[in-house]
Structure 1
Amino acid sequence: MAPPLMTVIGAGDIAAEIDRHRPELTEVVRAAYLVHDAGDSSNPHSSFLRFPHRDRSRIISLPAYLGGEFEVAGNKWIASFPDNTRRGLPRASATLILNDCATGYPFACLESSIVSATRTAASAVLGAQTLLGTRRARRVGIVGTGLIARHVWRFLRELGWEIGGFRLFDLDPAAADRFGAAIGSAAGAADAEIVVADRVEDAFTDCDLVLLTTVAGEPHVHDPCLLAHHPVVLHLSLRDLAPELILAAQNFTDDVDHAVRERTSLHLTEQRTGNRDFIDGTLGDLLRGRRRRDPGRPAVFSPFGLGVLDLAVGQWVHDRVVAAGRGHRESGFFTGAED
Structure 2
Amino acid sequence: MLIVGNDAVRQVLDGRELEVLAAVRRAYQQHARGATALPHSVFLRFPQDTRNRIIGLPAFLGGDNAVAGMKWIASFPGNVADGLERASAAIILNSMDNGHPVALIEGSTISARRTAASAAVAAATLRPATPDTGVSLIGCGVINFEVLRFLRVVYPTITEVTLHDLDRDRAAEFARRCDPDLAVTIADGLPAALAAHGLVSVATTAAVPYTDLAECRPGTLVLHVSLRDVTIDGVLSSVNVVDDPDHVCRAATSPHLAEQHLGHRDFIHAALGDLLLTDTEHPRDPVKTTLFSPFGLGVLDLAVADLVMTHARAAGLGVELPDFLPSAIPAAAR
Same fold (TM over 0.5): yes
Matched residue type, 1:173: R
- Deviation of 1:297 after TM superposition, in Å, equals 2.1
Deviations 1:70-128 (A, max 9, x none): 30000000000001112211100000000001111100000000010111010000101
- Deviation of 1:280 after TM superposition, in Å, equals 0.2
Output the CA distance in 2 between the equivalents of 1:256 and 1:248. 18
Given the alignment of the two structures, is residue 262 of structure 1 paired with residue 251 of structure 2, yes or no? yes
Decide which moves more: 144-153 or 284-293: 284-293
Structure 1 residues 291 and 61, CA, compared in 2 at 3 Å: closer, same or farther? farther
Q: Indicate which of 182, 189, 211 corresponds to 1:199.
A: 189
Aligned partner of 2:276 in structure 1 is 287
Output the CA distance in 2 between the equivalents of 1:307 and 1:298. 27
Q: Map 1:236-315 onto structure 2 (within 5 A).
A: 236-289=225-278, 292=282, 293-315=284-306
CA RMSD of aligned residues (A): 1.8
Output the CA distance in 1 between the equivalents of 2:214 and 2:129. 25
Given the alignment of the two structures, is residue 34 of structure 1 paired with residue 29 of structure 2, yes or no? yes
- Deviation of 1:141 after TM superposition, in Å, equals 0.8
Given the alignment of the two structures, is residue 225 of structure 1 paired with residue 214 of structure 2, yes or no? yes
Given the alignment of the two structures, is residue 328 of structure 1 paired with residue 332 of structure 2, yes or no? no
Contact 1:76–1:97 (8 Å) recurs in 2: yes
- Deviation of 1:184 after TM superposition, in Å, equals 4.6
Deviations 1:231-262 (A, max 9, x none): 00000000000011111110001100000000
Aligned partner of 1:165 in structure 2 is 160
Q: Map 1:70-149 onto structure 2 (within 5 A).
A: 70-132=65-127, 136-149=131-144
Give the unaligned 5+ runs of structure 1.
Answer: 1-5
Aligned partner of 1:216 in structure 2 is 206
Q: How many residues align?
A: 328
- Deviation of 1:333 after TM superposition, in Å, equals 0.8
Decide which moves more: 48-57 or 288-297: 288-297
SS in 2 for 1:124: helix
Output the CA distance in 2 between the equivalents of 1:52 and 1:111. 27
Output the CA distance in 1 between the equivalents of 2:173 and 2:328. 50
Contact 1:135–1:160 (8 Å) recurs in 2: no
SS in 1 for 2:40: coil
SS in 2 for 1:168: strand
Output the CA distance in 1 between the equivalents of 2:109 and 2:225. 16
Contact 1:135–1:161 (8 Å) recurs in 2: no
Structure 1 residues 70 and 84, CA, compared in 2 at 3 Å: closer, same or farther? same
Contact 2:4–2:103 (8 Å) recurs in 1: yes
Contact 2:21–2:118 (8 Å) recurs in 1: yes
Decide which moves more: 230-239 or 288-297: 288-297
Aligned partner of 1:16 in structure 2 is 11
Matched residue type, 1:305: G
Q: TM-score, normalised by structure 1?
A: 0.92
Output the CA distance in 1 between the equivalents of 2:117 and 2:272. 13
SS in 2 for 1:90: coil
Give the unaligned 5+ runs of structure 2.
Answer: none
Output the CA distance in 1 between the equivalents of 2:235 and 2:195. 17
Output the CA distance in 2 between the equivalents of 1:337 and 1:59. 34
- Deviation of 1:24 after TM superposition, in Å, equals 1.6
Decide which moves more: 147-156 or 94-103: 147-156
Aligned partner of 2:50 in structure 1 is 55
SS in 2 for 1:132: coil
Matched residue type, 2:145: R
Output the CA distance in 2 between the equivalents of 1:262 and 1:256. 12
Contact 1:140–1:167 (8 Å) recurs in 2: yes
Contact 1:59–1:78 (8 Å) recurs in 2: yes
